[in-house]
Amino acid sequence: MTFFVIGVDGGGSKTAAVVLDAAGQVLGRGWSAASNYHLVGEKGVEEALAQAMQEAARAAGVALPQASAVTWALAGAGRPADAERLRRLQARMLPGVPGEVVHDAAAALRGGVGRREGVVVIAGTGAMVYGENAAGDTARAGGWGHLLDDGSGYAIGLRACQALARAADGSDLPTRLETGILAALNLPSPEHLIAWLYAPERQVADIAALASVVLEAAESGDLAATDVLLQAADALAAGVDAVARRLQFSGETSLPVVLSGGLLEGSAFYRALVSQAIHTRVPFARPQEPRLDAAVGAGLLALALAGRSLPSFADEPRPRPAGPWASEQRNVLTHDLDVRSTLEVVGLMHLEDRRAVAAVRPRLPAIAAAVDAIAARMRKGGRLIYVGAGTSGRLGVLDASECPPTFNTAPGQVVGVIAGGARALTEAVEEAEDRPEDGEQALRDLDVGPLDSVVGIAASGRTPYVVGALTEAHRRGALTVALICNLPAPLASLADHVLAPLVGPEVITGSTRLKAGTVQKLVLNMLSTAVMVRLGKTYGNLMVDVQQQNVKLQERARRIVAEACGIGESEAAEVLARCDNDVKVAIVSTLLRCSPDTARERLKQSGGSVRKAVAERA
């Protein structure tokens, strides 16, 4: 009897089956419709699997009941109860044949990488990310079904319909998606989309099929379509990041990430967007196309089930590439920027800026931890010192200069240091950033000590001036924080707290005044503002330590007292006059109905916090 095994890869739009011989060679293939249990039910699964396996068996010239093993790798089989139900179906259809039911991602990983160690991204009708490490641990992200998963054909198609609706309403920019979708569905106007979308017979695959319209529109420069694809690509990249962290891939060697599924394998454009997004979120990742398809991967799992071992065809682990870091790489969206329309140029910048803002979100816990550490030192008299060069340095100086008028910080309490000195604020002094010894000297000149907090700002994470400054700060026992946009980076190894919003390639290659500058400004806003909130510089969201150096700020002070105390602005002006124009004293005096001197004493006892001073009203 001829030895053979059966492998099946089943998803939300199609099912593929293969027959493999003992050496792993394909003897026959077969195809059929969708076999995702949650979409077509058990009867639909049975019909699809029977058709695909019978077609593969006929092509191979074998009889299915004589198989030595069978592996079904099916979307929707990731949960134990579902897998067990499908395994019982498998036993009925192929009685006596050793078998297993696994999720389709396991087969895609085995076929795509050549071993069961790495990560696979599947994006077709549905989407999920799956990984295994050398210890056999597994992790997944996505695979929650078409209503919850992102990065899939269904999610892309649905977002495209939403973009069409907004454009038709006039609440968003016009988009070629309207013409493309209406033509694809043979609909006369946008209003007819409602009946099509909500029709009882509408299938998930119908909506997922609209992804091809989105891909075509995005490749022709449509901003709405590009936005849809970028959201999908970033969602898949976030899944890879989550899986890589849960499996504790260290990044010492590059991580193979297989890009599988109809969307990724069928569109070079979407594959490039997803690859770039993954490399931005997980710098040591190595996105790649599958070595073998998922059906063959399922067959290889069946060979292992039958006790046959095959030599791995996987590449040996490679050292992490030492090429240009992400912010110096070319953005795949803007290779042809100079021939785009002006609207497309500014539109692409807007889309990338929005991605930059989103890159801050994963770093919020790290930012919060840095804020608490800085505030703890500043309560004891320490300083907050920003150090940077070029754009990064200017942003640090800007944030420091805005703290006195906003929060009434004492002179020298928040300091901005820039390579090249004051001249570098208005002129390019690019060579100044190359001297680490100047950064060290700047920290010595400030006599930095253990109560101080030094924030090194550098998009690349490796600016010599900032490296020198943070090295000196660390040597002196100061708290060190690295605000960077690339990993790995030398500054990360010097810092107690690493704040690394990873924004990836810029619209203009290497121009880190763009996305990197945007996120640096956002994080600096968070650092200084949250620290001052922790130090009692606000009451609720009121700026109670504001300096009143001009008419605008004097009017603001009156409004703050009025808002905090529930009184009119004229009464607030009278209270301020009695309290020497001290906003905090005016608020405490009014709320506690006490004298200004008593209010000052309460504030002194509360460490300057209005909230604590009025906590127990007299």
What angle, 0 to 180 degrees and rounded to 10, lies between the N-to-C axes of helices 223-246 and 342-360?
20
Establish how many alpha carbons lie within 13 A of residue 244's alpha carbon, considering only the half-sphere containing its beta carbon: 26
Closest CA to 77 of 116, 117, 114, 35: 35
Catalytic residue among 100, 178, 433, 472: 433
Q: Taking a C-beta distance cutoff of 8 angstroms, is the pair 586, 563 a contact?
A: no
Catalytic residue among 46, 219, 402, 574: 402
* Strand pairing report for 479-484 and 453-458: parallel
Phi, psi for 246 (deg, rounded to 5): -65, -30
Q: Say whether 582 sits in a helix, a strand or coil.
A: coil
Burial of 49 (0-12, 13-18, 19+ CB in 10 A): buried
**How many whole angstroms separate alpha carbon 58 and alpha carbon 28?**
8
Say whether 402 is catalytic.
Answer: yes
Say whether 201 is catalytic.
Answer: no
**How many whole angstroms separate alpha carbon 100 and alpha carbon 583?**
72
Length of the chain: 618
**How many whole angstroms separate alpha carbon 483 and alpha carbon 453?**
13
Q: Could you give the C-alpha distances from 66 to 57, 94, 190, 419, in angstroms and in order?
A: 10, 9, 54, 75
DSSP string covering 521-557: HHHHHHHHHHHHHHTT--BTTB-TT----SHHHHHHH
Closest CA to 235 of 141, 318, 327: 141
Other Cβ atoms closer than 10 A to 381 = 11
Q: Could you give the C-alpha distances from 446 to 362, 383, 386, 440, in angstroms and in order?
A: 33, 10, 12, 10
**How many whole angstroms separate alpha carbon 51 and alpha carbon 46?**
9
For residue 451, give every residue at least 6 positions away whose Cβ sits within 8 Å of its Cβ, in sequence order, or none.
377, 380, 381, 382, 383, 478
Q: Taking a C-beta distance cutoff of 8 angstroms, is the pair 305, 69 a contact?
A: yes
Establish how many alpha carbons lie within 13 A of residue 570's alpha carbon, considering only the half-sphere containing its beta carbon: 0
Q: Could you give the C-alpha distances from 344 to 172, 234, 341, 357, 514, in angstroms and in order?
A: 15, 20, 5, 20, 17
DSSP letter, residue 319: B
Other Cβ atoms closer than 10 A to 138 = 17
For residue 363, give every residue at least 6 positions away whose Cβ sits within 8 Å of its Cβ, in sequence order, or none.
499, 500, 501, 523
Q: Could you give the C-alpha distances from 9 to 71, 340, 353, in angstroms and in order?
A: 9, 41, 39
Amino acid at 104: D
The pair of three-digit structure tokens given for residue 167, joined into one six-digit string: 């454009």
Q: Could you give the C-alpha distances from 513 to 57, 114, 346, 517, 528, in angstroms and in order?
A: 60, 42, 15, 5, 20
Write out the catalytic residue numbers. 402, 433
